[in-house]
Amino acid sequence: MQLGRFNHIGVAVPDIEEAIAFYRDVLGAKQITEPFDLPEQGVKVCFVNTPGHDGTEGTQVELLAPLDETSPVANFIAKNPLGGQHHVCFEVPDIEAARAEFEAAGKRILGPTRIGAHGTPIFFLHPKDMLGQLTEIMESPKEGALH
Ligand SMILES: CC[C@H](C(=O)O)C(=O)SCCNC(=O)CCNC(=O)[C@H](O)C(C)(C)COP(=O)(O)OP(=O)(O)OC[C@H]1O[C@@H](n2cnc3c(N)ncnc32)[C@H](O)[C@@H]1OP(=O)(O)O
Ligand SMILES: [Co+2]
């Protein structure tokens, strides 16, 4: 496996506008993207861009609100009404090679490889196989692509 950049931490929130105001007003976030719907994933999503450190590139907090009660985030919010840390996302150079390696390692992959919020292919690994951490694997954006 070739672990790449830590792309984002996914944070489930009951209300994305309230969460944006919190990150802006309480945490002083300077760059927050406009929320957009991902109906195929059942979520409304936006990104809080965090500054880098020691010359390294920053990362993102991905704020996720359920679009409806069938959303994969809805059950999490039902169990955690305030929301909270939901998943982590690591980049890999080749999503299909990564999928094959995790499958060979007996890790449960949740659903098909699909296009995520950054416009590149992603899949999820079951938290019970990943030290309790729901893990998203994302193919690194090609050089020059927006992400
Ligand atoms: C793709 C767009 C965007 C992007 O970055 O590109 C996103 O990230 S979208 C993010 C939302 N989509 C997903 O999360 C898809 C993958 N998730 C799932 O398939 C489910 O949420 C799943 C299987 C992780 C949980 O399903 P469900 O909630 O129906 O199951 P349970 O509540 O019964 O949970 C089973 C077991 O897992 C524990 N659990 C559930 N969610 C999490 C979590 N986020 N982190 C850690 N553990 C989690 C839960 O506590 C249960 O454990 P148990 O000991 O049995 O109580
Ligand atoms: Co994500």
What size, in residues, is the chain?
A: 147
Ligand 1 mutation pick, 47, 48, 71, 75, max ligand atoms within 8 A of CB: 75
Average pLDDT of span 81-102: 97
127 Cβ inside 6 Å of ligand 1 = yes
Fold of 6-139: 2,3-Dihydroxybiphenyl 1,2-Dioxygenase; domain 1 (3.10.180)
Chain centroid to CA 90: 9
Q: Which of 14, 20, 66, 21 is nearest to 43 (CA)?
A: 66
Instruction: Return phi, psi of residue 41, to 5°.
Output: -110, -5
Average pLDDT of span 97-109: 97
Domain-by-domain residue ranges, the chain? 6-139
Q: CB–CB of 72/64 below 8 Å?
A: no
Residues of the chain with pLDDT > 90, as a percent, come to: 88
ipTM, 2 dp: 0.97
For residue 116, pLDDT over 60 is answered with yes
Does the active-site annotation cover 143? Answer: no
Residues of the chain with pLDDT > 70, as a percent, come to: 97
Q: CB–CB of 84/107 below 8 Å?
A: no
**Ligand number nearest to the C-alpha of 117:** 1
Q: What is the pLDDT of residue 144?
A: 58
Q: What is the pLDDT of residue 145?
A: 56
Give 30-58 pLDDT, tens digit per residue: 999 999 999 999 999 999 999 988 888 89
**What is the Cα–Cα distance from 84 to 10, expressed in whole angstroms?**
9
> Ligand 2 center to residue 100 CA distance, Å?
20
Ligand 1 mutation pick, 16, 87, 90, max ligand atoms within 8 A of CB: 87
For residue 147, pLDDT over 80 is answered with no
Average pLDDT of span 73-87: 97
The amino acid that residue 51 corresponds to is P
Q: Which residue has the higher pLDDT, 1 or 22?
A: 22
Average pLDDT of span 115-143: 95
**Ligand number nearest to the C-alpha of 83:** 1
